[in-house]
Structures are given as C-alpha cells and as structure tokens.
Structure 1
Amino acid sequence: MAEDPAERRWRLMNGCDRMLSGNRAPSLRERLADLAASSLPELDGRADVYGGGGPVTVLEKRVAGLLGKPDAVFFPTGTMAQQVALRCWAERTGSDVVALHPLSHLEVHERKAFTTLSRLRGVWPTAERRQPTAQEVRELDEPFGTLLVELPLRDAGFLLPTWDELNALVAAARVRGAKVHFDGARLWESTPHLGRDLPTVAGLADSVYVSLYKTLGGLSGALLAGAEDFAAQARAWRHRYGGTLFQQWPAAVAALAGLDRELPRLPEYVAHAKVVAQALAKLPGARIFPQVPHTHQFQLWLPGPADRLNEAALRLAEQQRTWFCGPFTDRAPDLACAEITAARPALDWTADDVTAAGTALLELAAAG
C-alpha cells in the first residue's frame, strides 16, 4: 500500500536536520512530554471547568494585559471568536453590515460563516491585493456597523499598513460611526513593522482577536479581548455557540508556554525574514512578495508547476535532510506560490545557505 502523502510529508520533514521554513511537527508523545516538562506553575494547580479557573483564567488575564485591554475571553477556535465579536458589535450598533477585505480570513477560510450563521453581510472597501485605505473606508457607498482589519492580511502576502495608515484607517471608521475589530491572528509579529508595542496597536480597536497556535506554537485556541462588558457579552455568546468546553487546560498551558518561548524572539524572526527573502530573490525566476517582508512570513513564487516543486521539496528532504518549504500551490500560469515562515530553525541559515538550498530545489524540480 502506498504511503499516505500527509504521512510521508510529516515523516520526511521531521527527519530533516535543517529547516528553512516553519517548525518541526513533534509526535503526540513528544508534545505531551513537552507540556509535562514545562516549569509553568499552573501545571501544579487545578484544571479549568466550563471556561473558568485554572490556566484558562491565567491565560485570559495575561493576554488582556499584553494587549492593554480590560478583559479577554478564551475560545476554542478563532472562527468562533470572530463570529462572536462581529455578532456583539452588530447587536450594539444596530447594523448587520461588516466592512472587510475580500481576502480576509472570514471571506476565504471560514465558509462564509459570518453570513450563514450570524446573518451578517460583508461589504468591501477595496478588492485590490493590499490593505484598504482610509479614503476607501470614508467613501464606502453604504453604511456599515463594524470595520474588520486583518493584521497582517495573510492571503495578500502578510501585508501590513504603516502606523500612520492604520491610524487613518481607524479614524475613517470612527467618522462613519463604526466599531473597529482587529483580526489579529498574527498580531504578535506585526509590532516591528508598525513600530509600536502591542497595547498601543491593540488600543486602536474596540476588540482584538489573537491566535494561540499561529506563531506561538500552541495546540489550538484563540483569545478575544476588549472592554469588560464586551467580554461578558462574548462569554454569553460563546456558550450559545458551543464553545464553553468542560476543560481546555492543554491548549491554555501550551499557549502560556508559547508566550514565554516565542513572543520575545519574534523581532529576531522578523529581522531574519528579510535576510531569507533577499537570498531567495536571487533564485532564477523567483518573485518575493512583499519584496521586504512585513512580518516573519512572506510569499515565494517560483516557476511551476506546484506538484513538481512539492515533489522536489520531498526529495530534497530525503537526499539532504533539509526541509525547504511547502506546500506550493499553482496561482498563476507557470508560477507556483508557497508561504515562507522564518521561525527559530531558520535563524541558523546564512543567506548563502538559503540560496544554495533553493538552487538544489530547482535542480531537483527540473530533473523531474
């Protein structure tokens, strides 16, 4: 029987000595051992029960403090957290219209849950592959109750506005009488580009969602932060949506460990991503977007097709025990795109190392 493609990919990736993009995916046993070995004091305490107490409450208070918000609410998924946030603002503003980008996570990756479940309606200030401008928000041709800003805009290339552009964008929403919600799944790594700390950035919005596994390497989960009355309303809707699980301490403990481990190193990752991007740009036919990454993630475009590049990446892992990146997807005629994440394993790579590995990948792809 042929090996399952996902199993092959996991096996080869974890057998590599070096990784350019992403992090190693540990086995379940390794994951459990890592949690058990943590020095977090919460491991010696009691578990949470139906959304309260234990490490869940500790995590909520810690993230609220990091974001400079009065309160934060734990959710099992970011999709649920954002559903609830937009629903709360719709109730408060009396408007079921949300202004957002068509490439936002809600439009592309959530099966339009905000429209089908919450009966909200989206309008687009722009369809360009960039963040919307303040002028586009001010001149939107119909009223809206909430402006959702994804920071960074992942599917457009992990793009961020400048700090002045973000301030103007929020101000434009205020002029329109709208609330502002930040989809900050990757907000953690956005502060170097914006040039401001987390409380200052989050302080622009009425509510902020952050992921606990993207960037931080947790198991799952999300936090929704805002004012105390907003958080109380969010907890009520979390219950209705089925998000108040009996116990969620593994996800909370993993997130607390991720805050300790990854948050302090993110500026270093963001800086090194620029080195990696510049080295990859030297490959024949390569395109980097954005040319200077805004976070520690960016898009790499190479001559396709994607299936040949993906097989070449697996062969590179087999032959040289080097994990390059993946997966590539076909995005344009004769071009395939992959997302590069310069995390801790990439810090050991010099620019010459990056270019050499990319050259080896293209040679394997050409050999078929």
Structure 2
Amino acid sequence: MSDEMTLARRIAALRGSERVLSGGRMGVPLGELLSELAETAPGLYDMDAMPDMYGDGVVARLEERVAELLGMEAAAFFPTGTMAQQVALRCWAGRTGNPTVALHPLSHLERFERSAYVQVSGLRGVHTTDEPRMPTAAEIRELAEPFGTLTLELPLRDAGFLLPTWEELVEVVEAAREREAVVHFDGARLWECTEHFGVGLQEIAALADSVYVSFYKSLGGISGAALAGPSTLIEEAKTWRHRYGGTVFQQWPAALSALAGLERELPRLPEYVAHAKVVAKALQEGFAEAGVPWSRVHPEVPHTHRFQVWLPYDADALTAAGTRLAEETRTTLFGGRWMPAPGAVPGLSFTEVTVAGSALAWTAADVREAVGALLDRLDRPEREGGGG
C-alpha cells in the first residue's frame, strides 16, 4: 500500500471514530472548517465590517488582543511563525550589534526552518547545550563566545515538550542579561505553559524582550502567528514583514479563527493539562498490564497537555495497528503517526500525544483498555483487503 493510501486510510479511520484520545483535528474537511468558522465568527468581530486590507481591521484587532493577553506594548500578525522568528532575530541583531543567536540544537529554529536564520537573515548560532533538556543558567554563563540574543523554545517540543521550573527559567533569563543579551521566547505553544509555571501569561512574557506565539498549535486556528514586544521593535518588525513578503492583502479567515481559538481553546488549556497527567499515568499502567517489555511516557508527568510515548516496536506496525483499532472499534488511541527513534535504533518508536477536548471524556480505565486493544492488534495478522 502506498504512503498516500496509508495516510488516506488512517485519516478515514480517525474521522470515523466515535472516541478519540489524540489527533482529533487531523483531516477535518474544508466544509466542516468553513461551517465552524461561520458559526463562531459573529461573536468575535463585527460581521458588517469590511474585510482587512494589508493588516488593518480584524487583523489589527487580533494584534491588539495578543498584546493585551501577553502584557506587551504591541504585537504584529505574521502568516507563519518561521517568518516571525526570522524577523525578530534580525531586528535584535541590528539593535545589539551582535549577529550570534544562542539556541538549543533541538529548537524549531534549527530543526524545522531549513536554517533560515542563517541563510536568509545572515545570523549564526551557538548551541546552549547538547543535552535533550532546557539549558541551565550555568550553561548560559559559560558559553564560550558573546551572543546578542538568547532564544528559548517554551516548551521544547523535540525533547518531549519540556519546560524548566519557573525558578530555573528566571535564572536562565538573568544569566543572559548578565551577558548583555536580549531574550526572545519561541512561544509557539506558550499558551499551554501557565499551569506548569504557576503564573499567568503576562508574567511569563514579561521575562522576555520579545515573544512569538502560534495560533494553530495550541488554539486550533487555521494558521498564523504573532510577534509581541516593545512598540518600537514591532514597528520595525512590520517593515521587515513587508520585505519578507508577509504583508498579505487579506487574512481575515486566519485572524477570525485565531480570535476563536483565544476565546474557545485558551480558557480550556488548564483542563487539558490536568487531564494529560491522568492519561499519561493510565498509559504507563496499560503498558505494564499488557506486559510490554519496555515503554516510556516522556516526561512521566507531562509539563503541558502534550508528551511523547515510546514503545519497543516497529513504527509502521504501530501505525497500522492503530488504524485497525480505529476501523474495528471506532476508537482512536494515537491519531498521529509513529516514528522511528532518532539515530535509527531498530525496533524503537515514538509518537506525540495531545490531550485536548476529545480526550476529556476518557477515564483512566478507558485508556488502559484501549492500550490492550492496540497491542493485541500488533500480533494479529490483518485480513486480506484491510480494515476489518
């Protein structure tokens, strides 16, 4: 079966599921998305107003809302987070006079942006640590060369959606200040960090000189991002946004869906984070009850409503077993794809779990039962033609 057919089958199984623990937003058809937006938009913005043109109207209202939520002087909407980050780092390099960016090798800037901060913005990076965790204050103080900007991804997705403690984060920021560097937060998922830190969004954002946030990674928006910070920085950022091709004629669908996410999903994130702890514990219990020789939920107690699950089985086999579970029982446990462990460790795979609205009805017993049902399908040959 081709990769395209496998993906189509997996999405169809997910869409046909009556219970979904993780991955519920994948494969939502256009008509449903449009209906959703039409239903929620009237309570968010004046539907008799004209569509935005080059960043005014509803886009400007979204920028104001983000600045209010983060306690920043101003914010600018960007079509992508990659562009927002490049512009932020470029602006800070010009202001500090130092083009060196201190960052983690697992950060989004290094792994998913094709070295844009180097290739497009002419900057260079120095790694804060090679450990799969957030850097410490001591590591920042001991970096062997000066740097103009320290960027911190909160949470660090590729390390397991990890966060430092609040005290550790404050110390890391203070260490950067001691080195006369500015601090930029890659806060694509900053919205979901308040429970772990025990403080509000404004207090978190106040530690940084600038903050980037996403509208689809935590909030379920269509697309888009915002860069927030001092008004002088944001005005300069808007100039570079234009130069980078990011001042789009109309962006009202993305802006409306972002406002909907701030209204609908943001208040629910603490509930998701709390339930993620229940789900993570139940998964560990389920693997133990099923006699899995080795398994790991990472982190053991999730820092946000997202975490990793590691199992000693082939990635394609796990993905196929999950698809069959959904087809045969209308229950999706892990909606995302399983991936081989980094470094090509044979027979070791991981997936990412996001505990959101569809997971709240799941009890610990439900999770343990679904784990057993998934693992049963790893050893059972599939009938000819697939699907059950």
CA distance in 2 between partners of 1:42 and 1:361 (Å): 47
Per the alignment, in what secondary structure is the counterpart of residue 245 of structure 2? coil
CA distance in 1 between partners of 2:169 and 2:16 (Å): 42
Alpha-carbon offset, residue 10 of structure 1: 1.8
Equivalent residues in 2 for 1:1-368, closer than 5 Å: 4-25=5-26, 26-38=28-40, 39-51=43-55, 53-282=56-285, 283=287, 284=292, 285-325=294-334, 326-331=336-341, 332-368=345-381
Segments of structure 2 that go 5 or more residues without pairing to the other structure are: 382-388
TM-score by length of 1: 0.98
Deviations 1:121-155 (A, max 9, x none): 11012010000000000110000000000000000
Deviations 1:284-310 (A, max 9, x none): 232111000000000000121000000
Give the RMSD, CA atoms, in angstroms.
Answer: 1.2
Q: Percent identity?
A: 60
Per the alignment, in what secondary structure is the counterpart of residue 199 of structure 2? coil
CA distance in 1 between partners of 2:298 and 2:36 (Å): 35
CA distance in 1 between partners of 2:35 and 2:9 (Å): 24
1:182 partner amino acid: F
Distance 1:42 1:214, change over 3 A: farther
Q: Does the aligned pair in 1 maintain the 2:81–2:224 contact within 8 Å?
A: yes
CA distance in 2 between partners of 1:23 and 1:222 (Å): 22
Alpha-carbon offset, residue 185 of structure 1: 0.3
CA distance in 2 between partners of 1:149 and 1:181 (Å): 7
Q: Does the aligned pair in 1 maintain the 2:311–2:348 contact within 8 Å?
A: yes
Segments of structure 1 that go 5 or more residues without pairing to the other structure are: none
Distance 1:238 1:302, change over 3 A: same
Q: Does the aligned pair in 2 maintain the 1:83–1:118 contact within 8 Å?
A: yes
Per the alignment, in what secondary structure is the counterpart of residue 74 of structure 1? strand
Alpha-carbon offset, residue 44 of structure 1: 2.8
Alpha-carbon offset, residue 335 of structure 1: 1.4
1:42 partner amino acid: D
Q: Does the aligned pair in 2 maintain the 1:42–1:253 contact within 8 Å?
A: no
Q: Does the aligned pair in 1 maintain the 2:283–2:368 contact within 8 Å?
A: yes
Alpha-carbon offset, residue 158 of structure 1: 0.2
CA distance in 2 between partners of 1:43 and 1:111 (Å): 39
Alpha-carbon offset, residue 89 of structure 1: 0.3
Deviations 1:208-227 (A, max 9, x none): 00000011000000000000
CA distance in 2 between partners of 1:48 and 1:62 (Å): 16
Alpha-carbon offset, residue 169 of structure 1: 0.3
Query: How many residue pairs get matched?
Result: 367
Deviations 1:237-280 (A, max 9, x none): 00000000100010000000011110111000000000000011
CA distance in 1 between partners of 2:247 and 2:318 (Å): 42
1:5 partner amino acid: T
Per the alignment, in what secondary structure is the counterpart of residue 348 of structure 1? coil
Q: Does the aligned pair in 1 maintain the 2:184–2:209 contact within 8 Å?
A: yes
CA distance in 2 between partners of 1:367 and 1:171 (Å): 55
2:59 partner amino acid: V
Q: Does the aligned pair in 2 maintain the 1:304–1:330 contact within 8 Å?
A: no
2:51 partner amino acid: A
TM-score by length of 2: 0.93
Q: Does the aligned pair in 2 maintain the 1:211–1:223 contact within 8 Å?
A: yes
Per the alignment, in what secondary structure is the counterpart of residue 267 of structure 2? helix
Q: Does the aligned pair in 1 maintain the 2:137–2:175 contact within 8 Å?
A: yes
